Amino acid sequence: MTVLRLKASLHRRPESVNLFFRKAIPVELRPYFGKREIKYSFQTADPVTARSRYYQISACVERQIANARAQLFGTVEITDLQLQKLANEWYSLARSGADSGDPISPLSLHQLPGGPRTSSSFLNLDSCPQASSLEKLDKALGTDARSLLLHHGIALNHKSAKFHQLLILLAEKALLIEGRDPVESRRQSTIVENTETPTLKDIWNRFEALYSDSANPKDRGKVATYRSDFSKLIQHTGDIRLSMLTREHALSFRDALRELPDTTIPNFEQRSGIKPKEFRQLSLDRQRDMASEENLPVRTASGVTAALKRVAAVTG
């Protein structure tokens, strides 16, 4: 389910704010929200799939958190337009960084009718009736993620552990927006410095060296198969460090792949006047121009997904 379809389903089925603490996510996303599933999703060698699930969940979490804040402030309901304003506020604050001395929640409702709120803008889960261990929550989040949550106005307490996966998602989302790798942050519980992470070309050189000398012909074949798609990523984003990759990079790269022609069609060479292998070595701009000039069919959705998985396999 795409994020667009997810949001559409949420719009069709209004959620009661009173159900937030008992129903944090809709039924269709619950298989991705359990402890085992979340652990697998973020530790799998396929980060494209993991992040796809992550953003599906976070889109729902944003709405549910907004509904919860509406309940805490006594607002009867929150509209989709207000939700969008809250989401915009979250992103702008996460990019610029809130003043830690005067925490402001990116999910505060000061834009809603009634004027600015003077109360503390913390999302505190004390309303949750189930008491659990804060130490368990600290261990799951890591000190950097916990500090980042507090930095953005989300307070932790001894009754929060029931929703520790939800908080982890929010922390990882903020880390990703700030240009850090949420997967590495989970494993190391430290800030990932851009200067310490490899560049995309470094990653490819490591991948090529690993599989080029393999005794398995399938492994050697991966080098030629994956080189084309990974080189497109480098062309699209530049030779940046892995920790600098953001959601915007992933989405724009996916859109760029959708504009490229499908070189697997039987009559591609006759229609384009160039062999598929040679065509794939052209720059992205040239490929797009030829696709437009020759009216070539673009990649299918499954073809784009397969290319993203190949890129993910290299970075993984």
| pLDDT digit string, tens, across residues 23-55 | 444 444 444 444 443 344 444 445 455 455 545
Other beta carbons within 10 angstroms of residue 110's beta carbon come to 16
Output the DSSP codes for 228-260.
HHHHHHHHHH-S-BGGG--HHHHHHHHHHHHTS
Total residues belonging to the chain = 316
Whole-number percent of the chain with pLDDT over 70: 37
What is the pLDDT of the chain when averaged over all its residues?
A: 58
Residues 58-67 pLDDT 10s: 555 555 555 5
Q: How confident is the model at residue 241 (pLDDT cuts 50, 70, 90)?
A: confident
Of 204, 155, 175, 153, nearest to 315 by C-alpha is 204
The pTM of the full predicted model, rounded to 2 decimals, is 0.39
Rounded CA-CA distance 19/21 in Å is: 6
| Residue type, position 145, single letter | A
> Is 312 exposed, middle or buried (CB count within 10 Å of its CB: 0-12, 13-18, 19+)?
buried
DSSP annotation of 246 = -
